[in-house]
Chain A
Amino acid sequence: MAMGLTLTYMTTKVPNFAYGDMVLLGVYSSYATVKIYHSNPYVGSVIGLFIAGLVSVAVYLIVLRPLARRGASIVSLMIATFGVDIGFAGIFGIYTDYLSNTYVFNDPKAFYTLGPDFSVAGYPGIDVAAPLAVAAVVLIVYLLLTRTKFGVTMRASIENPPLARVLGINVDLVYTVSWFLAGGLAGFAGAFLTLDLPFLGVNTGNDLIVGIFAASVLGGLTSIFGSAVGGIVIGGSEIVMTIWLGSGFGYGGAVLIAAFFLLSGVYMVRRKTYQSKAVGAILSILGVWVIADIAAGLPVDFLAGELVYGFGSAIINPFQVGIPLVIMAVTLLVVPQGIFSVNFRRLLGREK
């Protein structure tokens, strides 16, 4: 999903707030496929890809391009995508009411995982299909960008639009196609969610968007593969941290956390300004503290216990959203250009 957002950002330099709705389009095309046509959710994912892709193109052509041509600033484009987001909220609201009315469903606004899913060696099929699909998508996009003529023109148009135009590349067409790809990826991912998340509904897009932003930012808003890595890190950290916070960190987790604090701490301390040095120092101290805890044989479970107090049995664990947010904030303040911009060799002191 983050790949798509990065793609739109790269082409228009505007963060697309309406991106969660593209995901929702996928969710609901899957829903409609299963509930109305009694078909398989996987069929829905393909339909979702095309619907979301086309809608995304429409948003670009109808809303953003005319505005950008009129010289609207980044902020007003952001507000425009925000407006589109609200419009979609209305459309989904009306659509779900349409579903309830016409087909007498009682759950279109909030439903549980759709079935039926096939199973592979005892595991739900989605756990096999989703990683495979992601790998396939990454591979296809990678090949598209690096091995085809279109990919070359696309990268050229993104990096230097006027020059690309001079060379006879149809930049507008390229942008349109990349918006299609972006929306399509979101719809595709959204359709998979209907099999994966336990609880979905019209608010799913809202809940997800923080994670999507975080993945994109972590990967650097200008690198597609960065965002794929970012997506994996964010997704993984959400799940892992949620489990840790639920049941205590254990040693491996604590070591990882310490490493994270120390790395970013050292990175910040090496910066020039005092604020950066201060933040870096705090992070480093936190890291040392965690290590000291481990050394003293105290697992950090106490800390985790403090943190989860009061949250009880919530449907959505707030940490599932909070963690990507924290990662995003730290990323933005420490390495605004994303993880791929970090010069890891300099960080380790090998290179001046």
Chain B
Amino acid sequence: MAFDLLSFVADFTSFYALYLAISLSLNLEFGYAGIPNFGKALFIAGGAAFAGSITGRIAAWALGVSKGDFITNNFAIMGQVNQLLLGDPLLMVALVVIGLAVAALIGGVFGYIMSYPAIHLREDYLGLLLLGMAQFFQIFLNTYTPLVGATQSILTPNPFYYFSTLNVNDLVDVMFAFAMGAFALLVWVYVEKTVRSPLGRVLRAVRDNDDASSALGKDTVKMRRNALIVASAIGGMAGAMYTFQVAFVGASTWTRFAWTFWPFLIVIIGGVANNKGVALGAFFFVLILKGLEQVQPYITPYVFNTNVNFIQDLLFSVLLLMILYLRPEGILREKSTETLARTELDKITGSKGNAMSAPGPGNESETRNDG
């Protein structure tokens, strides 16, 4: 098996971008807003499942494919749908847009529902509840046939089918990488803009000192709720992106390991409440993950021919504990908000020299909190 560099790089990039997007959304709610979302998998799976199921049905309906029940004859229906979609790129684009919108909506709705307990409960209870919810949702998907066909999984419209018909080596992988990269870039810009805005400072203020910020007139409940909704919507969209990439959606994908623990690991490695850190953490994480996959044939014969996933699990577990133990703040620390330079302040207030009365932007009640 020859090592295919281009394929590896493309695969690496799309995976990196996917996890970067998810981790950034987790960082928004966990790092900046202080909500430990141990049910991340719930929102991602929700977005993916509904997006996959609904776009498939819409496509079948719009193209007039009728071969009986959508779930039981899914493979036949979607096979025909994907063939027909080749001649209808506009519909394909529309489907992707609809899918992402549905995913964002579902993620947001789930986020809104879960924000009720999230605001009223302490961190530990909330963790139990969210983890339980995510676990339940996976079991639900696994048993409820009409949505994603329970254990059998369903195919979804495949936006990349056109590229795979061209028979160019690795083209599909490269296209994945571009699509995912663009998505992650958008998420990056959005999250970075948000946390650098006055809103981001309010979020951190609420995280660090609830009482002080509500005393200063900030609606802490609303802040937390909105952070959870937005982050969940991004999570749902990431789930939909992944679904469109692999072009099928099933229940067994959405484990709490891959979709809750890994993002947490990335955020912890990189640095809580530091987006650059998260980008770095995601890079190291994917490097280990994909690297292990590459060296798999050389290791597993010595470990009872086990699946490399288990070695990964063990390794990541140790890595997480090491980070928590040796460098709890992650590779990059959270930066304190920088106040404007004196000259800038002077410019704004229009006075020279004496700018003492200039109020800091937004809410400056936050304190650094890196224990």
Contacts and interface: CB of A to CB of B under 8 A. Distances in A.
B127 A78 contact: yes
A148 B292 CA distance: 52
Contacts of B317: 83-88, 90
Given A82-B261, A89-B257, A333-B117, A310 B311 contact: no
Interface in A52-104: 63, 66-67, 70-76, 78-80, 82-94, 97-98, 100-102
B264 to A, nearest CB: 6
Given A14-B124, A76-B328, A328-B128, A87 B314 contact: yes
Given A78-B123, A102-B304, A316-B139, 11 more contacts: A78-B38, A78-B124, A82-B38, A83-B324, A86-B320, A93-B310, A94-B304, A97-B303, A97-B305, A207-B139, A213-B131
A245 to B, nearest CB: 13
A217 to B, nearest CB: 7
Main secondary structure of the interface of A (DSSP, over half): helix
A97 B129 contact: no
Given A72-B328, A75-B123, A90 B312 contact: yes
B36 A78 contact: yes
Interface in B268-320: 268, 303-307, 309-318, 320
A250 interface: no
Given A94-B314, A311-B145, A328 B129 contact: yes
11 contacts: A78-B123, A82-B264, A90-B315, A97-B303, A101-B305, A206-B135, A221-B125, A316-B139, A325-B132, A329-B117, A336-B125
Given A321-B135, A333-B120, A310 B128 contact: no
Given A87-B313, A102-B304, A210-B135, A72 B261 contact: no
Contacts, number: 166
A209 B139 CA distance: 12
A328 B132 contact: yes
A9 B116 CA distance: 24
Contacts of B304: 94, 97-98, 100-102
- B127, B303, B316: most-surrounded residue (chain A CB, <10 A): B127
A198 interface: no
Given A210-B136, A322-B136, A325-B136, A80 B324 contact: yes
Nearest to A78: B127
A210 B314 contact: no
B101 interface: no
B144 interface: yes
B198 interface: no
Interface string A159-179: 000000000000000000000
B121 to A, nearest CB: 6
Nearest to A97: B306
Nearest to A317: B143
A332 interface: yes
A93 B311 CA distance: 9
Contact of B129 (A85, A102, A332): A332
A27 interface: no
A314 B143 contact: yes
A249 interface: no
B140 interface: yes
B123 A321 contact: no
A97 B321 contact: no
B173 to A, nearest CB: 28
Contacts of A214: 132
Interface string A317-328: 110011001001
A97 B309 CA distance: 12
B3 interface: no
B313 A86 contact: yes
Contacts of A98: 304, 306
